[in-house]
Amino acid sequence: MSFVTVRDVWKSYDGRPILERVNVDVEEGEFISIVGASGCGKSTFLRLLLADELPSRGAIRIEQGHRAMEPNQERGVVFQRYSVFPHMTVRDNIVAAESFGTRSGWFFGKRLRGARERADETLARIGLSHVADNYPATLSGGMQQRLAIGQALTAQPRILLLDEPFGALDPGTRLAMHDFLTELRARTKMTVFMVTHDLTEGFKLGDRVLVFDKPRWDPHDPGAYGATITYDFDARDEGIPFQTIKEKTHVPVSA
Amino acid sequence: MSFVTVRDVWKSYDGRPILERVNVDVEEGEFISIVGASGCGKSTFLRLLLADELPSRGAIRIEQGHRAMEPNQERGVVFQRYSVFPHMTVRDNIVAAESFGTRSGWFFGKRLRGARERADETLARIGLSHVADNYPATLSGGMQQRLAIGQALTAQPRILLLDEPFGALDPGTRLAMHDFLTELRARTKMTVFMVTHDLTEGFKLGDRVLVFDKPRWDPHDPGAYGATITYDFDARDEGIPFQTIKEKTHVPVSA
Amino acid sequence: AAEEKTDFKVAWSIYAGWMPWGYLSDSGIMDKWAEKYGITVEIVQINDYVESINQYTAGEFDGVSATNMDTLSIPSGGGVDTTALIIGDYSNGNDAVILKGEGTVEDLAGKPVNLVELSVSHYLLARALDSVGLAEADLGGVVNTSDADMIAAFAAPEVEAVVTWNPLVSEILSSNPDATSVFDSSKIPGEILDLMVVNTQTLADNPDFGKAMVGAWYEVMGLMAAGDAEALGAMASAAGTDLEGYKAQLDKTAMFYDPAEAVAQAESADLPATMTNVAEFLFDKGILGVNAPSADFVGVAYPDGSTSGDEANVQFRYDTTYMKMAADGSL
Amino acid sequence: MRLINRRPSRPVAVLLAALPFVLIVIAYMIGSDLRLAANPQDKLLPAPSTIWDTAVRLFTEPDKRSGRILLWADTGASLRRLALGVGIAAAISLSLGVLIGLLPYARRLLSGFVAVISMVPPLALLPILFIVFGLGEVSKVVLIVIGITPFLTRDLSQRVLDIPHEEIVKAQTLGASTLVIALRVVLPQILPRLISAIRLALGSAWLFLIAAEAVAADVGLGYRIFLVRRYLAMDVILTYVLWITFLAFVIDWALKRLSGKAFPWMGAGL
Amino acid sequence: MRLINRRPSRPVAVLLAALPFVLIVIAYMIGSDLRLAANPQDKLLPAPSTIWDTAVRLFTEPDKRSGRILLWADTGASLRRLALGVGIAAAISLSLGVLIGLLPYARRLLSGFVAVISMVPPLALLPILFIVFGLGEVSKVVLIVIGITPFLTRDLSQRVLDIPHEEIVKAQTLGASTLVIALRVVLPQILPRLISAIRLALGSAWLFLIAAEAVAADVGLGYRIFLVRRYLAMDVILTYVLWITFLAFVIDWALKRLSGKAFPWMGAGL
Ligand SMILES: Nc1ncnc2c1ncn2[C@@H]1O[C@H](COP(=O)(O)OP(=O)(O)OP(=O)(O)O)[C@@H](O)[C@H]1O
Ligand SMILES: Nc1ncnc2c1ncn2[C@@H]1O[C@H](COP(=O)(O)OP(=O)(O)OP(=O)(O)O)[C@@H](O)[C@H]1O
Ligand SMILES: [Mg+2]
Ligand SMILES: [Mg+2]
């Protein structure tokens, strides 16, 4: 059986369909890039995977488990912005990834010291040791995203969700982050879903690239139908894709 | 004589030098791309050209005229954001480019109708006719920047200054904007300065590419010296540059 | 600097003995008398009694309804030479010291007392304590309490005694069966005088102003003395009560319906003693100002030409000229 | 499921929203019952039925003396003062806000002064106000103006400063003079903020109005409350309090609507 | 050069900032002189020298009767009431704000209620407060609490809602319970906002304090002002008004400093 199973998922907001008939199976350790036009529902799909929103119809399961009703430690996430806590130092942001799961949310004494040491190791690994006591606002965008990823991974999620994590970075920093992510993956073998606007980035990092688009559309009412996965590329072969067309796109629906 | 003359310009903030010994001559109709590390003073240089800030030393002249003391109609500008007026419709934003120069800032009657007609022509040219009555907030980022450029050009400036005009756009839209700008240039032969983070973009669009960097630096005090133009590439030959090294870079200064 | 003028403004505030001023203005009687003397007099009601005196002191009004004590402390103490044009009444039970539960004035010892500080209530309390040989220091403190909230205050658990005036007194006594009046102004008759005071200079320059005011006032006094239901009813409703309630308040007010009685009060030999008493009270409380060297720093002149206090600094005058004209029917 | 992720269904939501009001009414009824049982003459917490009767009387029966329905006369007078005071304060603070926010000279001249003035307790100045502006309508309006103008001015000048510098530069490159920038770029953009600032300041404006009317007035909502406070006529006071609350709510709602209608460009921001 | 681009030099800037204060003082001196020339005893606008003498006396000379320096006693009493009132209001509004902002159920239950309550004019409810809380310190503190809590609560709950949803989601993916989110994500982030909300509300708090002290008290800044109003001692009133203004300014400044010191992470925002 596959690791993540998405079965006939529909999602509408206020009766307006955004996603329809989404089906996909993902193996453990796969890196899935998700691309598609702006506003087509990529972030929505990620929120469904995160269980921050529930599908209007259909189900998403990890290892055939229960359907999650809300975000939990199984699913880590990094957004384009606001992914770290601005009121905690860089080190405390990492410690929080351990301590938030406890009843009070605080560590004390020996446990705190232990967590701090582990946090410092993590920071060394992601190259942020020199700013451990700084607040995130003083970090560059790239450093903040590295911190966010380090924090998400500290909680040891089963899948990691990235929503345009490098969208706000300049091209140079972006390339550095690609290397950082590739290196991390080589070490952890995490299952990752990453939404990106940048097709090159998607193919470069992903094992598979899912394209979201509206297969059906009504010329008189562009909002009448939702998007689904129209292509599912295998990108493992150094970015030279062989493609699986899943749906014919832009079939006009006679009104 | 050259069209824009920058002579031995220095700029410091609070005694901290940002730019030093900047010299450059630009011919009428040239497209100058400006690149450089983040925070090295590119936007500051543009603000000096704009006369939004005055140089601490040295002078900037257009056609050997007076040194401008504040922004005026000679210099048009488009920023990364906030370049259009959010409280005016798309059409009114274009009309404003004509009417702001009058005493009251308003057009009435026949003059207003005339300006509206010209605005509609401009909108047709930049492909925004269908949203003429919308407010900018409802436009996509690319459309807003097209409007900002159209607005700036309506005021018929002698030079046009662009500060990372496409920095906030996604790659697809960015490419479309490149085409839009290239096409406009072919028509107007405007003198343009464009700051960009993206080297490719700089070479693709520019006739010349200026690189800002700190030629001198003090290992003990990185903020002690300002940046200047270290390279001046000719980019006309389809982006294959032959370079003019203007300064040796990163010469350590014995402390 | 003689300053003749034809337009005058006087202020009044709601109190049993001053209600005629409202009626004077509403009924047109004031206008009638003003017209007779070729002037206009605007009568303005002000909610806040202290504010009305302050406004008069600052020169906004030519006259104001006030007690003898407040006249001495605010305008006269403030250097505004003021004449008592009309003595309307004296409080004859309208002001009272009220205790929660049974008791006498002696029982006030050790208890906090709520009252409008530095007002006639405070004076009444001082006189009450005097009568039994107590001093304010023997109390459990004096708590300044706005008259507007006196009834609510009396209902508060920690309030043990209040000093206040009508209609609050009758309201408190009637709605709190356990309330006892242990001392009231009927025990010090003639000491709390309710006046209409005017600027001395203005009066001197414009005798017609005095004549019109006094004439109008005693026309209404005549109506009241005759029990005119229309006039009394109007005053009662303006006071926020009914005819019965207003009559009950008037019972505690020694109105001088006859101008001759008012003249007699002004000429009474007790008046200088009362004023000296009041001045001492004010000085003791520091109300005459920090620069006041003694209690007799402000001089008060009486109808017979005698004075109490500092002769060189007479700022408060009892003048019976106009009331006598009314008594003689020569207005 | 975490509490933060639990959303009440529609009917439950309506019930919940009504609950606190129902509880307050019940608590009042119990309190009133207890006091009236102890003393049937008690005026402090009149029975709801008494309040209702009083309210009906106040809203419909004309005053014997003047023939006017006092509550409407009071409402008219108070609303006029409020509108005048708030209107004048808005006009002053709009001009000052634009000046302070836009012109460095004006900023130097006024911003410190406004900051200090905003700390002065206006109630303590009442006696002076009455002397300077008389006891008529003017002084009441002026108290409101003095009370809320500093706050409005500080808020608006901050908003002017918050307008992206880019917009001001852009206007200059289009040839706009200071006047044109003030009138066509700055003013329209702070108008919506003016409305929200007014909504914030209205509470204080009511307070000042009531305080001023308590001292010198012969008509007005605050005057009436102050007048009947002497007799502890809580039925009248509560009716007036509820009525003022209702008026305040309607004004707030109307301003919110106005803001939405008048400034359609305020969508998601630029 | 456009007016918006002209910046005063340093000495001119200092002069400009002082100008309005100087003008006010001069205007006062002229007004005072005129009135004192007409009547040397005039109390309304005492000469600046008189105010100075009075101020010195008030700050240094003990009261004859009680032996205490009244101004300090008044200041102590008022500041205690203010601190208590504001402190309690802050605690309540912090809890309510977090609840309303974070929990949909609490939001449904309370947000409409708080919106309505914030429209009630608290001054009109004074009689009820007196009966329920007595005439002592409690009712004064309660008036401040009632007066500013709705405003603080609305402001804080809005700030909680403004916290990026991403942060809340992130906390959940780190396993945080509702309690942990409230205590470790939301609370620390709205504390700085609490301080700025308090700075905004302090003006009203002073107002309610002065109003409460005017009604029933035997010590306090507002009490003294309303007491000496009885004999138009404007020198005392003006001294007290200036002193209150100074206190308000210092408190405001201290809160601003505190906010900067206590929340170093509030740099440029994330
Ligand atoms: N909470 C919501 N309520 C109503 N509509 C929503 C909501 N969230 C998203 N939408 C709508 O759903 C559609 C898809 O939004 P989504 O954010 O998933 O797009 P996206 O593919 O991530 O776009 P982008 O590339 O711009 O991030 C949009 O039209 C959006 O307006
Ligand atoms: N008004 C100012 N006052 C003080 N320092 C300033 C000011 N404007 C810019 N600086 C400083 O000048 C330096 C250059 O800033 P500038 O904005 O010109 O850089 P930039 O090259 O445009 O950077 P970026 O690529 O991030 O836009 C920075 O260190 C900045 O902190
Ligand atoms: Mg998205
Ligand atoms: Mg820049």
Ligand 2 pocket check: which of B11, B13, B195 to mutate, most ligand atoms within 8 Å of Cβ?
B13
Ligand 4 centroid–CA B12 distance in Å is 16
Where is mean pLDDT largest: A210-214, B113-117, C266-270? B113-117
Q: Which two tokens stand for residue E249?
A: 């300014």
Q: How many distinct helices (H) and strands (E) make up chain C? A: 14, 14
Residues in chain C: 331
Distance CA C264, CA C259 (A): 9
Bigger pLDDT: D251 vs B186: D251
- Please give the pLDDT value at position D136: 79
Ligand 3 centroid–CA A163 distance in Å is 7
Angle at alpha carbon of residue D9, lines to D3 and D13, rounded to 5°: 85
Q: Which of E2-6, E84-88, E96-100, E231-235 has the lowest mean pLDDT?
A: E231-235
**Owner of token pair 């480019």:** B97
* Among chain A residues, CA nearest to D2: A70
Using the 8-state DSSP alphabet, how is residue E163 labeled? S
Q: Is the pLDDT score of C1 beyond 50?
A: no
The answer to the question of residue E55 being in a domain is no
- Please give the pLDDT value at position E104: 94
Which chains have 3+ CB pairs within 8 A of C? Answer: D, E
Q: Given CB atoms, is E231 within the 8 Å cutoff of chain D? A: no
Q: D182 to chain B, minimum CA–CA distance in Å?
A: 10
| Arithmetic mean of pLDDT over chain D | 89
Q: Is the pLDDT score of B250 beyond 70?
A: no
**Owner of token pair 């809340």:** E168
- Please give the pLDDT value at position A255: 46
Please state the atom number of ligand 1 nearest to the C-alpha of residue A53.
Answer: 1
One CATH from 3.30.70.100, 3.40.50.300, 1.10.150.120, 3.40.718.10 for B1-74+159-255: 3.40.50.300
Distance CA A33, CA A22 (A): 15
Q: Is the pLDDT score of D64 beyond 80?
A: no
Q: How many distinct helices (H) and strands (E) make up chain D? A: 11, 0
Which residues in C lie closer than 8 A to residue E226 (C-beta atoms)? Answer: 144
- E172 near E155, Cβ under 8 Å? no
Residues in chain D: 270
Q: For chain A, what is the HEC assignment?
A: CCCEEEEEEEEEECCEEEEEEEEEEECCCCEEEEEECCCCCHHHHHHHHHCCCCCCEEEEEECCCCCCCCCCCCEEEECCCCCCCCCCCHHHHHHHHHHCCCCCCCCCHHHHHHHHHHHHHHHHHCCCHHHCCCCHHHCCHHHHHHHHHHHHHHCCCCEEEEECCCCCCCHHHHHHHHHHHHHHHHHHCCEEEEECCCHHHHHHHCCEEEEEECCEEECCECCCCCEEEEEEEECCCCCCCECCECCCCCEECCC
Domain definitions of chain A by residue range: 1-74+159-255, 86-156
Residues in chain E: 270
- C234-259 burial, b at 16+ Cβ within 10 Å, e below that, comes to bbbbbbebeeebbebbbebbbbbbbb
The answer to the question of residue E142 being in a domain is yes
Please answer yes or no on whether E269 and A86 come within 8 Å at the CB atom.
yes
CATH of the domain at E133: 1.10.3720.10
Pairing verdict, β C253-255 and C161-165? unpaired
Nearest CA owner, ligand 2 atom 20: B39
- D127 near C56, Cβ under 8 Å? no
Distance of CA D206 to the CA centre of its chain: 5
Q: Is the pLDDT score of C308 beyond 90?
A: no
Amino acid identity of residue B59, one-letter, is A
- Please give the pLDDT value at position B139: 87
- D89 near C13, Cβ under 8 Å? no
* C154-202 pLDDT per residue, tens: 888 888 999 998 878 888 888 888 899 999 999 998 889 999 999 999 9
Q: Is the pLDDT score of E168 beyond 50?
A: yes
Please state the atom number of ligand 1 nearest to the C-alpha of residue A38.
Answer: 25
Q: Which two tokens stand for residue E38?
A: 């007409």
How many Cβ atoms from other residues are within 10 Å of residue D31's Cβ? Answer: 14
A40 CB under 6 A from ligand 1? Answer: yes
Distance CA B165, CA B147 (A): 12
* A82-138 pLDDT per residue, tens: 889 999 999 999 999 999 999 989 999 999 999 999 999 999 988 899 999 999 988
Which ipTM did the prediction report? 0.84
- Please give the pLDDT value at position D252: 92
Distance CA D259, CA B117 (A): 31
Mutate to test the interface with D, among A54, A70, A100 (most CBs of D within 10 A): A70
- Please give the pLDDT value at position A180: 86
Distance CA D118, CA D93 (A): 12
Amino acid identity of residue E249, one-letter, is F
Which residues in D lie closer than 8 A to residue A69 (C-beta atoms)? Answer: 1, 5
Ligand 2 centroid–CA B42 distance in Å is 8
Dihedral (C-alpha) B182, B183, B185, B188: value to the nearest 10 degrees?
180
In the sheet with A57-62, reading across from the earlier edge strand, the strands are A16-26, A4-13, A57-62
Q: Given CB atoms, is C238 within the 8 Å cutoff of chain D? A: yes
Q: Which two tokens stand for residue B3?
A: 């069209």
How many Cβ atoms from other residues are within 10 Å of residue E162's Cβ? Answer: 12
CB within 8 A of D145, min separation 6: which ones? D85, D88, D89, D92
Q: Is the pLDDT score of B135 beyond 60?
A: yes
- A33 near A209, Cβ under 8 Å? yes
Q: Which pTM was predicted?
A: 0.86
B43 CB under 6 A from ligand 2? Answer: yes
Nearest CA owner, ligand 1 atom 28: A39
The answer to the question of residue E138 being in a domain is yes
Distance CA C64, CA C57 (A): 9
Nearest CA owner, ligand 2 atom 7: B13
| Arithmetic mean of pLDDT over chain A | 87
* B28-87 pLDDT per residue, tens: 999 999 998 888 899 999 999 999 999 999 999 998 888 889 999 999 999 988 889 999
Domain count of chain D?
Answer: 1
DSSP-based helix, strand, coil % in chain C, nearest 5: 45, 20, 30
Nearest CA owner, ligand 1 atom 5: A13
Dihedral (C-alpha) E96, E102, E103, E108: value to the nearest 10 degrees?
70
Q: Where are the alpha helices (DSSP H) in D123-181?
A: 126-133, 137-162, 165-173, 178-180
The answer to the question of residue E56 being in a domain is no
Q: What residue numbers bound the domain in which E109 lies? A: 69-266
Q: Given CB atoms, is C149 within the 8 Å cutoff of chain D? A: yes
In the three-class reduction of DSSP (H, G, I as helix; E, B as strand; rest coil), residue C115 is classed as strand
In order of C68, C254, C272, C275, C292, the CA distances from C308 in angstroms are: 14, 25, 6, 8, 15
The answer to the question of residue E52 being in a domain is no
Which residues in C lie closer than 8 A to residue D43 (C-beta atoms)? Answer: 175
Pairing verdict, β B31-36 and B191-195? parallel
